[in-house]
Structure 1
Amino acid sequence: MTVHVRPATPEDVPAAAAVLADAFTDYPWTRWTVDADDHGGRLRTLFRLDLSAVAVPFGRVDLGETADGLVSVAVWIRGTAVPADVWARVGRATTELAGDRAAAAAEAEAVLAGRRLDEPHVALASLGVARRRQGRGLGAATLAPGLAWADHEGLAVHLETSAEPNVRFYRRLGFAVVDAVDLPDGGPRTWLMRRPPRASAAAQGTSSVGFPDGRDR
C-alpha cells in the first residue's frame, strides 16, 4: 500500500486527532490514565489539544495518506522548544480530561519523569495508525521522514510505549530498550526506548520538514 507522508497544518488537527484516538482506543497507557466514561471522546479532545497547542506550533506532525485518506499520524516534540506557560495550560486541561484517572495519570508521569534520559533529543510523542489499516507497514513509512530528520540533526530519538508488540516494532527501526517500569497499583508496564542518530543518514543530508524556525533547533 502506497502512503504519502506530509507535514500537518492547523487545519489537519481534527482529522489527525480522530486517527490518533482510534489508534489508541485500547492502548494500555490511555486505558490506565484516561477515564473510561466517554473514553473515545476524551481521547479525541486530548489529541486535539496536544496537536493544536503543542505539536503543530512547536514540534513536528507527519501525516500518512493513502487513496483512502488520512490513515496515520506521527507526533514529534522537542520539549525545550515548548514555552512553560503552554505546558502549564495543557497540563491543566489534560488533568480535567483524565477524569477519575487523573491521580493515576499524575503518579505514572511522576514515576517516568525520573527515568527519562537527559540528553539533547527529539521525542516520538505518538504514532498512530487507524485500526483498520494496521499491519501494512504504514507506521514505519510515516516515521521515516522524522527519523531521517533526527539523523540529519544528529539527535537521538526517545519514546515510551506500554504495549509489548510495539517494542518489537521499534527495535526493527533501530531503537533499544533503556528501561522498563511497572506503573504503581497495577498499571501497565512501560518501556523507555532510545534510537541513536545514524551518522550515514546525517552525512547524506536527508532532511525533510523540520521544526519551526527559531524553536530550539
Structure 2
Amino acid sequence: MNITILLARRGDLDPAADTLAFAFEQYPWTRHVIPETGYTARLRQLQLLYLGYAHAHGLVAVTEDLAGVIAFLPPTAPEPDTEMIEQIIRAHGDRIDRITPGEPPADAWRLETLGVHPDRQGRGIATALLTFALNEVADRGGKQVVLDTSDPRNVRLYERHGFHVAAHTPGTDGPPVWTMHATIERPPGHVTSFPASAEAALSQYLKATNTHGG
C-alpha cells in the first residue's frame, strides 16, 4: 500500500485535530486526565493547541488524506505562552493535577502525538508516519527521541523503530505509562523515503549531495 506523508500546512491542523480526537477517544491516558463532561470537545481543543505549538516550533506530519498525524518537538522549543497554558488548564479542569511533566534528556526531541483514525488503523499508517518523522528529525540534527505511551500495543510498535523502554510506571491511581527512548542513527547521505513535495524532494537531494571533501 502506497502511503504519502506530507509536512503539515497550517490549514491541515483543524482536520488533523479531528483525526486525533477520534484516535484518542478511548485512550487510557486522555480518559484519565480529561474530565468526562465535555470530554470530546476538550480532547479536540487540546490536540489542536498542541498541534499548533508543534507546527510553530517543531514538526507536524500527516497522511495525504489526513487520516494519520504525528508531531515532534525539539529540545529548543520555547515554553508555551501564558494564553496557551491557561487554555490547557481550563481544558483539563479539575484533573490538571493528574499531569506530572517528565524530565526528558536535555538534547532529546519528544514525540508529542501519533494517531490514526480508527477506520484506517492496521494499514501501516503509523509505521509510515514514524519513518517519515524520524527521518525528518534526523535531517534537522536530532540524535535522541523520547516518548510516553499508555498502550502496550504501542510499545511493540515503537520497539520495531528502535525505541527501548527506559521506565515503566504501573497503573495504580491512573493508567500505566511506558517511557521510551531511541537513538537516531542514519547513514550519511540518506534521503527521506516520503518526500513532502517535489520542492521538498529537491531540497533533500541538495542536502544529501552538498558535501565538501578535501
1:29-178 superposed matches below 5 A: 29-52=29-52, 54-65=53-64, 69-82=65-78, 84=79, 86-105=80-99, 109-110=100-101, 113=102, 116-152=103-139, 153-178=141-166
Structure 1 position 103, deviation (Å): 2.2
Structure 1 position 81, deviation (Å): 2.2
Q: Deviations over 1:160-203 (max 9, x none)?
A: 101111101110111000111236x6211101101101142xx1
Does the 8 A contact of 1:75 with 1:126 survive in 2? yes
Q: Which structure features the higher share of helix residues?
A: 1
Q: Say if 1:181 and 1:165 are closer, same or farther in 2 by CA, change over 3 A.
A: same
Structure 1 position 2, deviation (Å): 2.3
Give 1:26's aligned residue: 26
Structure 1 position 23, deviation (Å): 0.5
Unmatched runs of 5 consecutive residues or more in structure 1: 211-217
| Superposition TM-score, scaled by structure 1 size | 0.82
Does the 8 A contact of 1:50 with 1:90 survive in 2? no
Residue 96 of structure 2 aligns to which amino acid in structure 1?
A: A
Q: CA RMSD in A?
A: 1.9
Q: Which 4+ residue blocks in structure 1 deviate beyond 6 angstroms?
A: none
Greater Cα shift, 153-162 or 123-132: 153-162
Residue 110 of structure 2: SS of its match in structure 1?
Answer: strand
| Superposition TM-score, scaled by structure 2 size | 0.83
Unmatched runs of 5 consecutive residues or more in structure 2: 201-214
Residue 81 of structure 1: SS of its match in structure 2?
Answer: coil
2 CA distance for matches of 1:43 and 1:117? 24
Structure 1 position 119, deviation (Å): 3.4
Residue 24 of structure 1 aligns to which amino acid in structure 2?
A: F
Does the 8 A contact of 1:154 with 1:199 survive in 2? no
Give 1:215's aligned residue: none
